[in-house]
Structure 1
């Protein structure tokens, strides 16, 4: 792999700690990065993603799409040659697709009509 084809990335977690920096190919997809983040996630954290779909990556203020490559996500401005690109990691567990139980209101008097018809 040519040296100029590699991009050095680090991933900033919610508490300010980092995973990396690690060198990736410009052809690596965001989905591949997310899989690597989940596998390298520190075990001592309170919030832990279960799958790659629980992770969102943000770079230069944009949420990165899974099908984009690292080369497509690089911002042309503000990048130093040989510098490390920091991507922010947000953990958003996917919602369970079960119907929530309806709460039954047992308190009397809240649903009584007080209208008077004359």
Structure 2
């Protein structure tokens, strides 16, 4: 992912702000999807974010989803945020969705 692309800037901005506001709660933050792979074809950039929180916390989850929406609007990117508590992430680490995110994505945490 190039930092000069809208997707790169959006991912960096989201990750930076998420770490600043909720860093102590985030175990993993991985951005993946067509904009990260470079197959968005310049039509509609979308990114998926896998966020693993130390504990299941609906309030932090809502705040991170709102942050993704805000950053997405600022950068013209649509974020889809997938939040898992750490225990569920660990017990389902072989799930195809999680494997894809970790293999194709860019890890910020």
Q: Do both proteins adopt the same fold according to a TM-score greater than 0.5, normalized to the shorter chain?
A: no
TM-score, normalization: structure 1?
0.29
TM-score (norm 2): 0.30
Higher relative contact order (CA 8 A, sep 6+): 2
Higher helix share: 2
